[in-house]
Amino acid sequence: MHIRTHIHTLFLTFTNCFEINAYHDMEYVANITIGTPEQNFTIVLDTGTSDTWVIDYTCSSNKPAHCWDSTCDEGLICEVFCTDQTCCEMERPMGRNPCEGKRYFESVKSSSYVPMNGRWWMTYRPYGAVAFGFYGKDTLRFGGFGSKQLLVPATKIGFADKIDNRFARQAIPERKLIML
């Protein structure tokens, strides 16, 4: 069970305030919205890089579809019944796709979204979890929908189209990252 500590932080001006939840000083999460109309996210605040990213609706698993057949479940079942033994060597996340059950950004629903050239990837040490994606610009708002928000137009954001299986095990189902 997580004990939440509420920290109120003022950003840039003293008129914009939003709540940050601290989990035992190990992790800090906050609410943001992206796009027009606003799409809500609960994000992990991270100071390890200057990049901001969220999961995109195009996110897909790196495991071939035939590996999700129940005969290819981990363990002896896979070794005995799966027709493609390479499926048995792959780590299986909780669910069919590491993006499954997570909130994702739908650029096609945002009138303020602008695609950008370039791709990105990020590795989180010491766990080795990796995320890959593409860039776009959109309106980013600190604070949840309906609250007084700090609005940052035309923010460069990374949209993950592939995430590591390790992200599937994250406790917060709609985990996203914003780098400060």
- State the average pLDDT over residues 138-150: 86
CA nearest neighbour of 160 among 125, 139, 124, 135: 135
- State the average pLDDT over residues 122-146: 86
Is the pTM here over 0.95, yes or no? Answer: no
Show the domains of the chain with their CATH numbers.
Answer: 4-60+99-162+171-179 (2.40.70.10), 61-96 (no CATH)
Instruction: Quickly state the pLDDT bin for 138 (edges 50, 70, 90).
Output: very high
Per-residue pLDDT of 19-70, as tens digits, reads 677 667 777 788 899 999 999 988 888 777 788 999 998 886 555 666 666 6
CA nearest neighbour of 178 among 56, 42, 22, 8: 42
What is the per-residue pLDDT for 97?
A: 75
What is the per-residue pLDDT for 59?
A: 85
Non-local CB neighbours of 82 within 8 Å, separated by 6+ positions: 67, 69, 71, 72, 88
Q: Which tokens sit at 139?
A: 């309106």
Q: What is the four-CA torsion angle of 38, 22, 165, 72, rounded to 10 degrees?
A: -100
Per-residue pLDDT of 79-130, as tens digits, reads 777 777 776 665 554 456 777 767 889 999 999 999 999 999 988 776 778 8
